[in-house]
Amino acid sequence: MLDHIVYAHPHPEYFAEEFHEVTGVRPVFGGAHPGRGTLNYLAGLENGAYFEILGPDPEQSVAPEKTMFRVGELGPEFEPRVLTWAWRVADLDATATAGRERDIDFAHPVDAGRTTPVGRELQWRFAVREPLPFDGLQPFLIDWGSSPHPSEGLESGIRLVEMRAYHPEAEGLRMVFDFLGTNLEVIQGRAHLEVTLATPKGQVTL
Rounded Cα distance between 82 and 9, Å, is: 9
Q: What's the gap between Cα 17 and its chain centre?
A: 19
For residue 168, what pLDDT band results from cuts at 50, 70 and 90?
very high
153 has a pLDDT exceeding 90: no
Segment 7-18 mean pLDDT: 98
Write the DSSP string, 130-181.
SSPGGGGTSPEEEE-TTSPPTTTT-----EEEEEEEE-TTHHHHHHHHHHHT
Query: CA nearest 104: which of 186, 182, 1, 174?
Result: 174
Q: What is the pLDDT of residues 17-44, one digit of tens each?
A: 999 999 999 999 999 999 999 999 999 9
175 has a pLDDT exceeding 90: yes
Return the minimum-mean-pLDDT range out of 6-10, 25-29, 140-144, 155-159.
155-159
The chain-wide mean pLDDT, for the chain, equals 94
3 has a pLDDT exceeding 90: yes
Provide the CATH topology of domain 2-153: 2,3-Dihydroxybiphenyl 1,2-Dioxygenase; domain 1 (3.10.180)
Segment 154-160 mean pLDDT: 89
The amino acid sitting at 159 is: R
138 has a pLDDT exceeding 90: yes
120 has a pLDDT exceeding 90: no
118 has a pLDDT exceeding 90: no
pLDDT of residue 7: 98
Rounded Cα distance between 132 and 81, Å, is: 14
pLDDT of residue 119: 83
Indicate the pTM of the whole model.
Answer: 0.95
Query: For the chain, what are the domain ranges?
Result: 2-153
